[in-house]
Structure 1
Amino acid sequence: MHTDREACYQAVRSRDRRFDGVFYTAVHTTGIYCRPSCPARTPAIQNVAFHPSAAAAQAAGFRACKRCLPDATPGSPAWDVAADVAGRAMRLVNDGVVEREGVDGLAGRLGYSTRHLNRLLTEQLGAGPLALARARRARTARVLIETTRMGFADIAFASGFASVRQFNETIREVYASSPTQLRGRRGGVRAPDGHVRMRLAVRTPFAGAALLDFLAARAVPGVEHVAGTAYARTLRLPHGPGAVSLDLVDHGGSGGVAMVQATFWLTDLRDTGAAVERVRRLLDADCDPVAVDEQLGADPVLGASVARTPGLRVPGVVDGDEIAFRAVLGQQISVARARDLAGAITAQWGEQVDAPVPGLTHLFPDAATFAGLGEAAEAGELRMPRARARSLVALGAALAGGSVRLDRGTPRDDVRAALLALPGIGPWTADYVAMRALGDPDVFLPTDLVVRRATQALAGRADPRIAAEAWRPWRSYALMHLWRSGGGTEPARRSGQERQGGG
């Protein structure tokens, strides 16, 4: 959109918050860049330029506005859902791949040469991989500076900077302030060592209670725990285990930004950025709920559900491999039975952790662990049909070997084809994984029994695919509304096929 100057300028003149994160306004006369909804006086059109990303504005020499804090807005919904190379690259950059593996590692994951990837990202996002990673580090650092009492040296390394000097220089250049000036009086209460408390930005409306209901119904004992409005779970991170606790409540409004309170426990502060990004995926934080609700709310089938639960999210995941295993575990059994089975397997083969959150005792088993359960599967130790146990082992081997990757960096069609090639994995499981692990906003499960019943009850149609055509490109969100309308969080069984409701 940033190439359409007239459309961008009209959005800036109206201070339309729905465009925050979609493009950025750079003002030549002041040298700063803002979000479209910035309350400052609207500059003349000849004095502004529009950029597709904060990194592009920073690379062009502009500093972040101290009034509207443009880098604090959630990411672009277009990048979050896009299946193209720019969208996939942004997701990997935000996960810290550049810091851990370098630009060559990022390019290798995406299947491009380093030179070609740099050219593609510069054309589409206005900045190359290094500039995008630098903007991510600066954004993470600012959140930590303003919402925690961590020391600046700890913040520097937690944000991915190679040195405190690099951290100081970048903060001054991007924000025209020192770390001390940024913190001012905003720093929160100092947390115990290994704890990071912060606020995660989400677009409003945000149906936090509905998200909590979904996660609570599927919470695996030892891995996840729900108490009141708090959802907690363990995290498998690049440098060691961790955990997070989230306060999931509803946030109203339309087109604005709300904050979800989060407390992280980390064994290595270098994992801060990766942990934040993975939790944001879980929250579906970059969804544009206004656009989704406008379309689905006008539909005669879904309008009442949208009115009851505005801002309903598609729950993401903190670990794509985990949700794939849980989806296979849950085939042909109820959600409750799948949850208990996953808990039993975790207790026996998961890694124990010493998390400071009650109820959290293990990490969910990783791909290599499942790949090594061949003998246990044949001996019936997994307490499920041998065919399904063999599917888990095959899936583990594929994930551990790299022939299937669920890190949001691989094209979705390629992931689906690779999953369907594995024994015991059919379209329902592959599409459910695409929806939750890959963030595909347009997944629909027409064979799902609850979906069929809900569509029949609401639309009077036996084939939900007919009604679903009107829900593109937000069919994943329509699916969540149908599940809530057709039986809440406990989908029914479907004899002889994959079961619905997910892991």
Structure 2
Amino acid sequence: MEEWRGGAYRRTLRLPGGPGIVALRPQEGHVAAELRLTDVRDVGAAVARCRRLLDLDADPEAAEQTLGADPVLAPLVVAFPGRRMPRTPDGSEMALRVVLGQQVSTAAARTHAARLVSALGTPVHDPVGGLTHLFPAAEAVAGVDQETLSFPRTRRRTLVMLAEALAAGDLDLGVGADREHARSVLTSMPGIGPWTVDSIAMRALGDPDVFLAGDLGIRQVAAGLGLPTTPARLTAHAHSWRPWRSYAVLHLWGTLDHPITRMPKDGS
């Protein structure tokens, strides 16, 4: 349901009039978008979801003013001005993907997601690339036979329970959702801990002030930059980064030598 091809990030979109495909290509000063839609009336909805995906309505200058006041973050802010928060066109999709990525490598998370998409996603036709499915709707995941899912049993239960809450409307991760209520609902679910709640708040709800103090990558970067490495002390240091701690997390992650911080190869 997503790929990098021909210098563009391409993905499928679930839209009111039917499946769509968007190709987003970085250009000087803007992002070029090419849309393939089932219904042309979905142009507005597709553009809005792409803007949300790329965090294009953010105010990076305000974040940089605060984060740049910290001598440790200042060089990162100068090196990568205008950094945005990678989000999602669909909050339910992101929440389910975060659960799939709990306590596994990014490669394993991609494998789990690919299996779920192949098994439960709606097929689409892509005449110019390798996209094959929409990400499964929460209703499809909620109704799945858990024994058919090829990952640990506890993860299956958590995934289906989350999908059930999303499908029933008990958990709202859409535009304008109440972030604190969503956090409360997520926290009450067995198998969903603080890292998962914070990741969903950052990526699905677009909360600009999330700090993943217990994230392994953040702690590794903190050690290299001379920042505190225990979650409590690191959180205390990050207090001055409020209300833009999500963007601080992105700057710190960006220093990691990891495939996820580099441009991918075509077809990946």
Distance 1:483 1:226 in 2: 21
The alpha-carbon deviation at position 489 of structure 1 amounts to 4.9
The yes-or-no answer on 1:392 pairing with 2:159 is yes
Distance 1:312 1:489 in 2: 18
Structure 2 counterpart of 1:274, which letter?
A
Q: CA RMSD in A?
A: 1.5
The alpha-carbon deviation at position 295 of structure 1 amounts to 2.1
Distance 2:19 2:201 in 1: 25
Q: Give 1:344's aligned residue.
A: 115
Distance 1:348 1:370 in 2: 10
TM-score (norm 2): 0.92
Structure 1 counterpart of 2:248, which letter?
A
The yes-or-no answer on 1:231 pairing with 2:2 is no
Distance 2:227 2:201 in 1: 28
Q: Give 2:96's aligned residue.
A: 325
Map Cα deviations across residues 270-317 of structure 1 (whole Å, 9 max, x no partner).
Answer: 211111111000111011122222222231111121122111110111
Structure 1 counterpart of 2:244, which letter?
W
Distance 1:418 1:489, change over 3 A: farther
Distance 1:429 1:489 in 2: 21
- Asked if the contact 2:5/2:129 (under 8 Å) is kept, the reply is no
Distance 1:227 1:421 in 2: 40
Distance 1:465 1:406 in 2: 26
The alpha-carbon deviation at position 413 of structure 1 amounts to 0.2
The yes-or-no answer on 1:306 pairing with 2:84 is no
**1:415-426 equivalences in 2 (<5 Å):** 415-426=182-193
The yes-or-no answer on 1:242 pairing with 2:12 is no
The alpha-carbon deviation at position 228 of structure 1 amounts to 4.3
Distance 1:357 1:400 in 2: 32
Distance 2:223 2:260 in 1: 18
Q: Give 2:264's aligned residue.
A: none
The yes-or-no answer on 1:365 pairing with 2:136 is yes
TM-score (norm 1): 0.50
- Asked if the contact 1:450/1:487 (under 8 Å) is kept, the reply is no
Q: Give 1:444's aligned residue.
A: 211
For 2:32, what is the secondary structure of its paired residue? strand
Gaps of 5+ in 2: 262-268
The alpha-carbon deviation at position 440 of structure 1 amounts to 0.8
Distance 1:229 1:307 in 2: 25
Structure 2 counterpart of 1:434, which letter?
A
For 1:363, what is the secondary structure of its paired residue? coil
Q: Give 1:455's aligned residue.
A: 222
**1:76-475 equivalences in 2 (<5 Å):** 223-249=1-27, 251=28, 258-373=29-144, 375=145, 377=146, 379=147, 381-463=148-230, 464-475=234-245
The alpha-carbon deviation at position 490 of structure 1 amounts to 4.8
Distance 1:412 1:329 in 2: 21
Distance 1:468 1:427 in 2: 17
The alpha-carbon deviation at position 324 of structure 1 amounts to 0.5
**1:35-74 equivalences in 2 (<5 Å):** none
For 1:248, what is the secondary structure of its paired residue? strand
For 1:424, what is the secondary structure of its paired residue? coil
Distance 1:260 1:468 in 2: 31
Q: Which has the higher contact order (CA 8 A, sep 6+)?
A: 2
Question: Percentage identity across aligned positions?
Answer: 50
Q: Give 2:248's aligned residue.
A: 478
Distance 1:469 1:488 in 2: 27
The alpha-carbon deviation at position 486 of structure 1 amounts to 3.3
Count residues with an aligned counterpart.
258
Larger radius of gyration: 1
The alpha-carbon deviation at position 423 of structure 1 amounts to 2.1
The alpha-carbon deviation at position 424 of structure 1 amounts to 1.1
